[in-house]
Chains A and B, each alone.
Chain A
Amino acid sequence: MEKQSFFNYLRKPAFGWASFFLLTWLWAAWWMGDAFRVTREYSFFAFDTVLMHGIWQQSYGLLWIIGRALLTLYRWPVIGGLMVALLLTGGSWLVAYCLRLRPDSRWHFLAFIPAIAWMTWVAWIGLNIYYQAEPGRTLGVLFLGVLVCAIDAFIIWTFKGRRTTPRKVTAPSLIGRAGGESLLLLLFLLPFAITHIRHPYQRPYTQMQVQLMNEDWAGIVKTAQDHAELSYRPLAANYAIALIHTGHLADALFEIRMDYDSLYLQSYSGMGDVGSDLYTIDCDYHAGLFRAATHKAVEHLTMMGPTLFSLKHLTRLALLDYDWELARKYLFVLKRAPFESAFVKRYEPMLGNTGAVEADPVFARLRRTEPMTDSFESQYEAPAFLGYTTSLMAGRSMDALTQSLMACLYSKRMPDFLLRCQPLVGTQPPRSIAEGLVTQSLKEPNILKAFPQLQMNAQVYQGFIRSNESAFKDRPANARRLFEQYKGYYPYYYFFGNLKATRKRDDANTTGWKAGVN
C-alpha cells in the first residue's frame, strides 16, 4: 500500500516539474557552471549605449545583449544556473501549455524536448559557447525561445484558453507513459554524455580558468594532475602557469600527458581551430612578456569587442607599465559592468602608486621574468611565450633562467638547453633539469663531469633506456602505456611525449625552417 502511494506521488505533475527543475539546475550550475562562468568572462555587458554599441549593431544584436545580460548572473554559477533552470523549466511549462500536453498524456514528455534540445546544442558546441563566438548567443537563444512560448501562451490564454474545453485525453497505457519518460531520461543524459565524450577537456579546462581568475594556483595544479591522462594544450598551458606561480615548474611540468589531442573548436570563420587563443594571452602574461600579452589582448578586444577578459588583462598590463591613465580608463569601463567591484577594488588603489604595483605578489613574480632588453616579437618563433623564452640570452632572475630551461626541455631543444645550463654548474639542478641533463649525458659525457652529483640520475636513465628498449621501436604505440609508469620523468617525455611536435621539428629541421615549436 505504501509502495503504491509512493509511485502515485511520483506521478504527480509537481514532482515531474520539480525534478526537471532540479536536474537542469544541476546541469547549468555544476556540470556547465564553470563553462558559463568563463563565457561571462569572455563577454561584456553594461547599461551603457557607448559600450554596447558594437554588439547592438550586429545582426540579432539586441538578442545577444539580452543573452549577455543574463550571463552576468554567472558571476556566481549557482545563481546563473538557477536562472537557466528557471528559463528551461518555465519554457517547458509554456510548451506544455501551448501544445496542451497534459501531465497525464503519454506525449507530455514532448514538452521537455525543446529544453533538452537547447542543452544538447550547448553541449555540442563545447567551448564555442564563447571561443571566437558571440558569448550572449546561447542564453539569448534560450531567452528568445521562452519569450516566443510566453507570447504564444498569452495569445492562447487570451483568445482560447478560458473557453476551450479540455481536450479529451485517453489514459496512456503504462508502457506508453514509461516509454516516454524513459526516452526523456535518455535524452536528458545526452548533453552530459556529449560534453563528457566529445569535449572531455571542457570541464577541467573551464574549472582551471575559474581557478586562474581566482589565482588558485594549487587548485589548477590539482585539477591538471587529477586529469593527467587528458592531453590538451589549454590544460597544459594553465598547468604550466600554475607551476610558475607555485615554483614547481622545474619539478612537475611533465607530470601530465602532453600528446595533444585535437579540440573540437571553430574559429570566427567557422573553420576548425587549434584553440591557441584559449591560452596565448595568459601564457604571454604569466611568462612576463607584457608587451606580447598587450599585443594579443588588444587584438582580442578588436575582434571580440570589449570583454571582461581583455579589459582585466589590459588593466593589469597598463598598471605594470605604470600607465595610470590607461589603467584608469579600463577600470572606469569595468566599473560599468555589473558585479566587478572586487576586481576594481583590488586594482584601483594601485593607480599612481608604483609601490603598490610592485608589492602585488603576482606582479612581483611576473616582473622577475620580464625581458631585460628590447627586441621584436617577430624575431622569435610563435607563440612568443615559447619562442622568446627558448631564445632567452639574459634574464632578470633565476626564475627567468628556469623558465627558459623548461621551455627548451619542453621544445626538446637540447643544444639550447645545454647552453643555458652553464650557470647551474656546481649547483643541484631541479628535478626536470637534472633529468634533461642526463638525457644528453650519453652524447655529451662532459655533462656528468660538470654535474657529478647526477651520476645516480644517469644510472636511472640508463635503466630506463634498457628496460624500454622494445618500446623505442614504436614510440607512438607505446607512449600511452608507459605514461602512468613514467609520468613526470623527463626522459619519458623526451622520447615518448609530444611526438607530434617532435615530428614537426624533425620536418622543420630538414627544410631549414625554424618554426615548429609546439
Chain B
Amino acid sequence: MKSYVYLILSVIALTGCSPSATIPTSFTETSDSLAIYPDYRDVTIPPNIAPLNFMVTDAAATEYVVTVGDLVCGAGKDGKIDMDSVAWREVLTDAKGKSLSVNVYAHRASGWVHYSPFTLDVAEEEIDPYLSYRLIEPGYELYRQLGIYQRNLTNFTEEPIYENNRTFSNEDNHCINCHNYQAYDTDRMLFHVRAGHGGTIIVHGKEARKIGIKHDSILTSGVYPSWHPTMPLVAFSTNKTGQVFHMYHPEKIEVLDEASDLLLYDAEKNTVRHIFHTKDNMETFPCWAPDGSRLFYCCAKMPASLLGEHTPMDLALRYDSLLYDIYSMPFDAETCTFGEPRLEVDASGIGRSTSVPRVSPDGRYLLYTLGDYGQFHIWHKSSDLYVKALESAPLSGDSEVRPMTGTQEEGIRPLTAANSPDADSYHTWSSNGRWILFVSRRLDHNYSRVFISYFDREGRDHKAFLLPQRDPEYNTLLLKSYNVPELTKRAVQVNIETLKHVIYHTDPDPATYQP
C-alpha cells in the first residue's frame, strides 16, 4: 500500500515539467554559456545508459526545448528535461560509436535563443546493467537508516538489496557494509552486518547464510573483501580502525587503522586463516587479479617511532605519516599458498599513499587512488584516481604519462579527465574494462556521488559524468552518500526477505580458524 502511495506521489512530483515540444522555427544564436546540471557536456556515454536528464538554468527563460539527435524534449520554467526512455534508447542505439549533438533552446521574453550545442559521444561498449551501492548519511560514528541498493543503469529503477531496520530499536539496530561480488556475477556475494545481528552474510544464488569470522588471533573480523574470481575464496582484511575529528583543518576527519592484517576465507569449508599476521606492517584492501593468479593489496609500515608501546592517540597524531604502497603476490590455486610480495606502486617513496587497488578485467591496468597519506581516501581532498599499466599496455591520452608526483615512475599516470579537486575514490571497473565507476565528493564536497568515466582501448580516461537520475535535482535533495559502487552483469538473485530472515533469525556460524 505504502509503495503505491509513494509511487503516486513520485509521479505527481515528476510530472508537469514537459510541455509538448517542437523545435523553434525562428531563434537567435546566443553566446551565453549554457548552464546545465548535471554537467553532461562533451562526455562519452555507454549505449545502454538511462536518459541523461538534466536541468537548464536561464533566469530569463520561461520554457526550453532540447534536441538530442532526433529526440526532442521540452521543459517548463524549472528547466528540467525529462527524456522519453524509449526514444532515448532508439537514439543511442543508432548513435553507437558516433557523436550526438545536443541543442538547447530557451524561450526568453525577446523570443527563442539557441545555445552553442554540445556533444555526447556514444561508445560502442555497453556498461554492466546493474550497479549496487550503499546509501548512508556521511556521518562519522552513528548510523540510522541505511541500505544496499541495486540500480538498473539502463533505466531509473532502484531496488533495495537489503535495508536495515527503519525504526530505531535497541535490539535490531545494525549497520551493513562492504558488499562484494564474485567476478561481476551475483551468484556469490557477501556483505557484513555490524552491531545487532552481526556477522558476514554469504550469498550463493538465492540462498544466504550468516558466518562469523572471529578468533583470538584475528584483530576484529573480516572487513574489506575480495572474492576470488573462480574459487569459493574471499580475501579479507581485518582492521582495527579508529577515527579522530579535526578541530581546525581543511579535512574534517581522519579514519585510520591501528593495525590490520589479511585473511583468506574459504566459503565452502567455512574456514579462515591469515595471509599476513604482522605487527609492524598494516596490510589492507585486498584485490584479486581477474585471473586469480595474484593478490594485490595495500601495505603501510608502522612509523618507527610507533613500533613500541603506543596509544591510539599517539598513532592518530602521526596520521599523516601512514603511507601505503601497493604490493602483489602470486597465488597458487592448487595449494592455496601465496608467493613472495612484489612492490607494485611505491607511493611512500615519494611521500604519498595509495588505496583500493583494482585490476582491470583484462589484467592490463591497475587502478587505485593516490592521496597525501592514509588509506581512507574518501575523506581526503587530495585523493585522485591513478592507473598503472601492468603489462605493456598503452597509456596514452590527453594527460601524458607522468609520475604520481616528484620522481618518475614508469607507466603510471593520473586519470586527469576523470579526477576532480575533491575526493575521488572507491572505484570499480566494468566487466569489459571500458568503464570506470567511482564516487566523488566534487559536487558539494560532502555527499559522495557516483561518476562514470569511459576508459578507451588506448588506456585513455574521459570526462566523468554523474550517474543519471530521472529528476536532475535528486542528487541535490538526497542527504545520503553513495558508498562502494559495484557493477554486476545481472540483478542480485537473493530475496530481501531471505536476507532479513538470515540476519534477524539466525546466529552466525563461526568460521574455523586454521593457524
B167 partner, pick from A48, A58, A371, beta carbons under 8 A: A58
Q: Tell whether B4 is near chain A: CB-to-CB under 8 Å.
A: no
Judge whether B139 and A299 touch: CB under 8 Å. yes
Judge whether A303 and B479 touch: CB under 8 Å. no
Query: Which of A322-330, A432-440, A448-456 contacts its partner?
Result: A322-330
A384 to B443 Cα, complex, angstroms:
30
What A residues does B457 contact at CB under 8 A?
Answer: none
What A residues does B162 contact at CB under 8 A?
Answer: none
Q: Tell whether A351 is near chain B: CB-to-CB under 8 Å.
A: no
Judge whether A49 and B313 touch: CB under 8 Å. no
Residues of chain B whose beta carbon lies under 8 Å from any beta carbon of chain A: 2, 5-6, 9-10, 13, 137-145, 163, 166-168, 170, 244-249, 252-254, 313, 316-317, 443-447, 471, 473-474, 476-479
> Which has the most chain A C-beta neighbours within 10 Å: B5, B244, B479?
B479
**Which chain B residue has the least Cβ–Cβ distance from A290?**
B248
A329 partner, pick from B6, B244, B444, beta carbons under 8 A: B444
CB distance from A168 to the nearest CB of B (A): 44
Judge whether A303 and B144 touch: CB under 8 Å. yes
**Which chain A residue has the least Cβ–Cβ distance from B243?**
A378
**Which chain A residue has the least Cβ–Cβ distance from B254?**
A376
Judge whether A295 and B252 touch: CB under 8 Å. yes
Q: A interface, how many residues as a size bin? A: 35 or more
Interface string of A277-292 (1 = CB under 8 A from B): 0000000000001011
Extra inter-chain contacts (5) besides given A61-B2, A332-B476, CB under 8 Å: A50-B471, A295-B245, A323-B445, A377-B246, A384-B247
Judge whether B313 and A378 touch: CB under 8 Å. yes
Judge whether A49 and B10 touch: CB under 8 Å. yes
Judge whether A336 and B245 touch: CB under 8 Å. no
Given contacts A49-B9, A50-B477, contact A325 B443 (CB under 8 A): yes
Judge whether A336 and B477 touch: CB under 8 Å. yes
Judge whether A48 and B139 touch: CB under 8 Å. no
- CB within 8 Å of B: which of A466-501? none
Judge whether B477 and A299 touch: CB under 8 Å. no
A269 to B171 Cα, complex, angstroms:
9
Judge whether A56 and B477 touch: CB under 8 Å. no
Interchain residue pairs A-B with the least CB separation, the first 6: A302-B139, A371-B248, A376-B244, A302-B137, A377-B245, A50-B477
What B residues does A328 contact at CB under 8 A?
Answer: 444
A305 partner, pick from B2, B13, B144, B443, beta carbons under 8 A: B144
Given contacts A50-B478, A329-B444, contact A298 B248 (CB under 8 A): no
Given contacts A303-B144, A325-B445, A329-B444, contact A298 B478 (CB under 8 A): no
Judge whether A376 and B247 touch: CB under 8 Å. yes
CB distance from B319 to the nearest CB of A (A): 9
A301 partner, pick from B137, B443, B444, B471, beta carbons under 8 A: B137
> Which has the most chain B C-beta neighbours within 10 Å: A323, A325, A336, A379?
A325
Judge whether B145 and A57 touch: CB under 8 Å. yes
What B residues does A370 contact at CB under 8 A?
Answer: 248
What A residues does B253 contact at CB under 8 A?
Answer: 295
Q: Tell whether A294 is near chain B: CB-to-CB under 8 Å.
A: yes
A57 to B494 Cα, complex, angstroms:
22
A333 partner, pick from B246, B252, B477, beta carbons under 8 A: B477
Judge whether B138 and A289 touch: CB under 8 Å. no
Q: Tell whether A5 is near chain B: CB-to-CB under 8 Å.
A: no
What B residues does A329 contact at CB under 8 A?
Answer: 444, 446-447, 476
A374 to B247 Cα, complex, angstroms:
5
A326 to B167 Cα, complex, angstroms:
28
CB distance from A252 to the nearest CB of B (A): 28
Judge whether A291 and B313 touch: CB under 8 Å. no
Interface string of A373-417 (1 = CB under 8 A from B): 111111100001000100000000000000000000000000000
What A residues does B6 contact at CB under 8 A?
Answer: 49, 56
Q: Tell whether A77 is near chain B: CB-to-CB under 8 Å.
A: no
A332 to B5 Cα, complex, angstroms:
25
CB distance from A516 to the nearest CB of B (A): 19
Judge whether B247 and A291 touch: CB under 8 Å. yes
A303 to B143 Cα, complex, angstroms:
7
Given contacts A51-B477, A294-B252, contact A299 B142 (CB under 8 A): yes
A295 to B246 Cα, complex, angstroms:
9
Interface string of A209-231 (1 = CB under 8 A from B): 00000000000000000000000
A48 to B12 Cα, complex, angstroms:
10
Given contacts A323-B445, A379-B313, contact A301 B247 (CB under 8 A): no
Judge whether A325 and B444 touch: CB under 8 Å. yes
Interface string of A46-70 (1 = CB under 8 A from B): 0111110010111101100000000
- CB within 8 Å of B: which of A299-331? 299, 301-303, 305-306, 323, 325-326, 328-329
Q: Tell whether A157 is near chain B: CB-to-CB under 8 Å.
A: no
What B residues does A295 contact at CB under 8 A?
Answer: 140, 245, 252-253
**Residue contacts A-B, CB under 8 angstroms, 18 given:** A48-B13, A50-B478, A51-B479, A56-B6, A57-B163, A269-B168, A291-B245, A291-B248, A291-B252, A294-B252, A299-B141, A302-B144, A325-B443, A325-B444, A329-B476, A375-B246, A376-B254, A379-B313
Judge whether B247 and A371 touch: CB under 8 Å. yes
What A residues does B317 contact at CB under 8 A?
Answer: 376
What A residues does B9 contact at CB under 8 A?
Answer: 49
CB distance from A133 to the nearest CB of B (A): 9
What A residues does B246 contact at CB under 8 A?
Answer: 291, 374-377
A298 partner, pick from B5, B140, B145, B168, beta carbons under 8 A: B140
Judge whether A333 and B167 touch: CB under 8 Å. no
Judge whether B244 and A377 touch: CB under 8 Å. yes
**Which chain A residue has the least Cβ–Cβ distance from B317?**
A376
What A residues does B313 contact at CB under 8 A?
Answer: 376, 378-379
A235 to B483 Cα, complex, angstroms:
40
